[in-house]
A and B are shown apart, each in its own frame.
Chain A
Amino acid sequence: MNSLFHISNLQFAYSSSLVLRGLSTEIAAGEFVGLIGPNGAGKSTLLKIMAGLLRGYHGSVDFSGKSLSQWNSRDLAKRVAFVPQETHMVFPFTAGEIVMMGRLPHRAGLVFDSPRDIDLTGEAMALTDTASLASKIFNQLSGGERQRVVLASALAQNPDVLLLDEPTVYLDLKHQMQFYDILERLNAERRMTIISVTHDVNLAARYARRMIAVRSGVFVADGSPEEVLTPHHLYDIFEITATILQRPDGRGSYIIPTA
């Protein structure tokens, strides 16, 4: 198995409350993982640790065969990109300038952007359908446009791994689908590893090929969407009873909470 992330007995506490209570798993290159679980389960914390944004954890997290604590942020940023829930800029950057920030870890020159930087940002914007927004002020774009621009910025980093923290939580249904369609293409065509935290179990079931469920800082289920989305697991994860249907398009399960 081509293991990209190797996590073993990972624990993390904010001040005194323990958020992650001993997580262990492996994630292979090319996987599409949906990370689900109730509020406060520790999903985002886990993702931020994997992205190198949170340090001071116990246990071990290896990325690409080397402990995460030995990666400097620049080398890590060449391989791992992070997409937050929501982005707001204090200053009036244009969408194109935001995407260009993604080239930072690769920059050789100090001040100017190279033709390669401009090519790759153009490609990232074409892929996310944001090329026409390049000279627009980021803060004035709609939520869906902003999130696609942030994705383009992450893609400009040319990463192997994309970590997303509830990337579509503020998007409408159509834009949620559009966004995940792009992720699906990246996963299929570029073998990009995708790990996305989401509250939307059905969205995760539609796109992810592996689902990991977290509750109170421990993994409670891990497997294909069909394996994870059972009435038994759903009760364990969310304390709900649910009816599980097959999607008419044949793409896995669809859950309907009933109580």
Chain B
Amino acid sequence: MAVGATSFPQRNGGLSAARFLGVVGLCAVFCLIVLLVTPWLGSTDVTWRNVLAGASPDREIFFVARLPRVLFGALVGGALATAGVLFQAILRNSLADPFTLGVSAGSSLGAFIAIWLGLETVVAGIPTTSVAAFIGAFLTILLVFFIARTSGAIPTFTLILAGVTLNFIFFAVMMFIHYAANFNQSYLMTRWTMGALDSADMGTVLGAAPFVIGCLIGLMWIAAQLNPLSAGEDWATSRGVDVRRVKTFCYFIASILTGAVTAFSGPIGFVGLIVPHTVRLVIGPDHRLLIPASFFLGSAFLVLCDTAARTIFAPTEIPVGVITALLGGPFFIALLKRRRGDLW
């Protein structure tokens, strides 16, 4: 008889309230510590005395420049990591990420068009580029869904093919626009595709937070059903899961989360891939833990990366996408080497 490797820490099936609170609580506390510490770090030193003292430049730096950026980073990181978990589960593919099905390509295409047309205004506190990016993302989400849907079902393979094909088409159009654009526009477009968290003000954060947190709470209702769904559709159906409903729900939640945050941040890669994998390696694939843990650790990860992006070569900033890949990539490889025994 083959002797399979024992999971560590041991997971023998049941999820008690104590284990849930222990794991998710630990991740939440870590995230909170990151959020409390990072706004104090940066190219200019600020002291809490000055921050609290009223109209000093410190207060301005802390509350207008850093805090919204840190909080926005937390929302983007959490949303992308959660979307990664969802796409990996419904596509049953551990290489899926929030951008596999074309959402970010659609979003970037929207942004490119706005930049190309010179629509660089702000409407109701939101940059036109972001509005265009969100419209691009939203249309892509619908397009992929209706291409893939056949007589009520949404076959996984068709979903992936539809997404990947649209990705190619959108990239072709983006290349054309990029080619046709002038130097200034071209720079803005390149900068967009690198991703950044500096565009957010407190209004954006306060607008996005209820939506992102609402999605997270909604997902906890169906988290248990994602376990059999990630094992196979027949497996899920024979355990009473309404596969079409859960799959459609997850597809739209994950896509809209991705579309909403990337409309402001641009496409930030790697978070949606690395964070769910790392969490899965440590606590296992039970989605009741995986979703909230990935959310909090995705938040912390992106905020830490962004803090590095704005401090390493201060006062010059590095695009945060460069940091997520450069920090996350090697870390992920090290994790892979260490846990090679576990298939996933």
Find out whether the CB atom of A101 lies under 8 angstroms from the CB atom of B14.
no
Per-residue A-contact encoding for B125-149, CB less than 8 Å = 1, 0 else: 0000000000000000000000000
Residues on B with C-beta less than 8 A from A76 are 240
Instruction: Determine which residue in A80, A92, A145 has the highest number of CB atoms from chain B within 10 A of its CB, and name it.
Output: A92
Find out whether the CB atom of B242 lies under 8 angstroms from the CB atom of A135.
no
Which residue from chain B places its CB closest to the CB of A84 in the assembled complex? B234
Number of interface residues of A (CB under 8 A): 53
Which residue from chain B places its CB closest to the CB of A113 in the assembled complex? B14
| B290 nearest CB across to chain A (Å) | 9
Residues on A with C-beta less than 8 A from B12 are 94, 96, 134-135
Known interface pairs A74-B242, A121-B13, A139-B343. Does A53 touch B2 (Cβ–Cβ under 8 Å)? Answer: no
Chain B contact residues: over half helix, strand or loop, or mixed? loop
Find out whether the CB atom of B238 lies under 8 angstroms from the CB atom of A77.
yes
Q: Tell yes or no: A38 within 8 A of B by CB.
A: no
Find out whether the CB atom of A53 lies under 8 angstroms from the CB atom of B238.
yes
- Distance, CA A141 to CA B343, complexed state (A): 12
Residues on A with C-beta less than 8 A from B239 are 77, 101-102, 104-105, 157
Q: Tell yes or no: B324 within 8 A of A by CB.
A: no
Number of interface residues of B (CB under 8 A): 48
Find out whether the CB atom of A97 lies under 8 angstroms from the CB atom of B227.
yes
Find out whether the CB atom of B230 lies under 8 angstroms from the CB atom of A111.
no
Find out whether the CB atom of A101 lies under 8 angstroms from the CB atom of B234.
no
Q: Tell yes or no: B56 within 8 A of A by CB.
A: no
Known interface pairs A73-B242, A91-B344, A145-B2. Does A101 touch B284 (Cβ–Cβ under 8 Å)? Answer: no
- Distance, CA A95 to CA B10, complexed state (A): 11
Per-residue B-contact encoding for A216-227, CB less than 8 Å = 1, 0 else: 000000000000
- Distance, CA A184 to CA B101, complexed state (A): 48
Find out whether the CB atom of B234 lies under 8 angstroms from the CB atom of A97.
no
Q: Tell yes or no: A100 within 8 A of B by CB.
A: yes
Q: Which 7 A-B pairs have the closest CB atoms?
A: A96-B13, A77-B240, A140-B4, A105-B240, A74-B240, A91-B285, A134-B12
**What 8 additional pairs, Cβ within 8 angstroms, besides A111-B220, A142-B1?**
A52-B237, A91-B94, A96-B11, A96-B12, A97-B11, A101-B239, A107-B224, A112-B16
Chain B residues proximal to chain A, CB less than 8 Å: 1-7, 10-17, 20, 88, 92-94, 220-221, 223-225, 227-228, 230-232, 234-235, 237-243, 280, 284-286, 288, 341-344
Chain A residues proximal to chain B, CB less than 8 Å: 48, 51-53, 72-78, 80-82, 84, 87, 89-102, 104-105, 107, 110-113, 117-118, 121, 133-142, 144-145, 157
